[in-house]
Amino acid sequence: MRHDTPSSHTMPFTQTQLADIVDKYHKDGYVVVDGLIPDELYAPLCEAADEVTDKARAHTWGQVRMVGKQFPPWTEGDDVWGVQNIMHPELGKPIFAEWYGSDDLLDVSAALMGVERKDMQFELFNILVNPLEKDYALSWHRDDVKATATPEEEEEALKIKHYGIQWNAALYDDACLSAVPASHRRIRTPEERKANLEGGDMPGAQNLDLKKGQTVFYNNNILHVGKYNLAVKRRTLHGCYGSPPSGDTSRARNILQHGLDYTTDPGFRGSVPASLHPMLDRLNGLQADMQGKPQVYSQDD
């Protein structure tokens, strides 16, 4: 595997282990991987996660996910279930970019997308947290296909290649996320469609139970749901990378609605690890290309 960084870094997995991870991801639509948070970053990440969560809950940081609403934009509410854009310089937590740009995470992500590190794009990085006032649950969804899609529309939408990889890395044990294994490759059955639109039990649902330090990579078009228990501390690093072919702007519909203006600040580049520079240049190129163009986003509720 080629690296843009000095050759002192070696993969934490053998090629066979990595091939198994990639196979599992394609077959099931998700894969759980151990050991992607380096030991020396774990405690500082926990501390920084608490600090930004406190700011979000106190509304001194406004880029948050509000309880009661599943998709962006989030403008109204009190309790929060996520803190957005945690690499923003105003939050003053460079540890997040350090981990976002860490070799093992980037290497596994590149392998899962089937690209080289040099082809990757800087994208989103947030933290998902437990609400404080009451339990909260999202509804079952695919991130880039509306629940109301007809079977024909769903079939078309699932054929689209996404050039991205999404992950949740749990700083504490986290059983919030459930999914229907392998549902990223097929349209919903009539029973699943009914459960999706009307609520009730989802047939075949599986809890993606993460132990502290584990990362789940998932195709965000797998049928999935988040259920949040106010009594269980959640600090789960949640983000994605892209790998769009040159000139392909399709990632914009997934990511730009989360507000990535901060990455275009000329000072930002110098504040993140060198491993992220080419990735950031690609994102900022995309943002420049999309400037002034009407944008259709993935979800509109």
Ligand X SMILES: O=C(O)CCC(=O)C(=O)O
Binding residues (CB under 6 A) for ligand X: these are 128, 138, 143, 168, 176-177, 224, 226
Q: Pull the structure tokens for residue 38.
A: 């380096």
CB nearer ligand X, residue 93 or residue 238: 238
Task: Find the shortest distance in angstroms from Cβ 23 to ligand X.
Answer: 23
CA distance 20 to 12: 14
Task: Find the shortest distance in angstroms from Cβ 138 to ligand X.
Answer: 6
CA distance 113 to 189: 27
Task: Find the shortest distance in angstroms from Cβ 224 to ligand X.
Answer: 6
66: which strand partners?
Answer: 80
CB nearer Fe ion, residue 72 or residue 77: 72
CB nearer Fe ion, residue 143 or residue 192: 143
CB nearer ligand X, residue 111 or residue 169: 169
For 30, 75, 118, 136, 156, the CA distances from 144, given in Å and listed in that order, are: 16, 21, 26, 22, 12
Residue with the shortest CB distance to ligand X:
226
- Residue 177 interacting entry, from Fe ion, ligand X, none, C-beta within 5 to 8 Å by type: ligand X
- Residue 290 interacting entry, from ligand X, Fe ion, none, C-beta within 5 to 8 Å by type: none
CB nearer ligand X, residue 120 or residue 127: 127
Task: Find the shortest distance in angstroms from Cβ 117 to ligand X.
Answer: 26
CA distance 194 to 205: 14
- Give the DSSP letter of residue 275: G
CB nearer ligand X, residue 141 or residue 282: 141
- Residue 216 interacting entry, from Fe ion, ligand X, none, C-beta within 5 to 8 Å by type: none
CA distance 276 to 57: 29
CA distance 290 to 53: 31
- Residue 226 interacting entry, from ligand X, Fe ion, none, C-beta within 5 to 8 Å by type: ligand X
Task: Find the shortest distance in angstroms from Cβ 70 to ligand X.
Answer: 7
- Residue 176 interacting entry, from Fe ion, ligand X, none, C-beta within 5 to 8 Å by type: ligand X
Task: Find the shortest distance in angstroms from Cβ 11 to Fe ion.
Answer: 29
CA distance 137 to 150: 24
CA distance 97 to 271: 9
Residue 60's identity, in one-letter code, is T
Residues between 94 and 153 with contacts to Fe ion, criterion CB under 5 A: 143
CA-based torsion, 60, 64, 66, 67: positive or negative: negative
Angle at 284 between CA 281 and CA 285, to 5 degrees: 85
List of residues 6+ apart from 82 with CB closer than 8 A? 64, 65, 126, 127, 128, 129, 238
Task: Find the shortest distance in angstroms from Cβ 292 to ligand X.
Answer: 28
Does the footprint of Fe ion cover residue 79 (CB under 5 A)? no
Binding positions for Fe ion, rule: CB under 5 A: 143
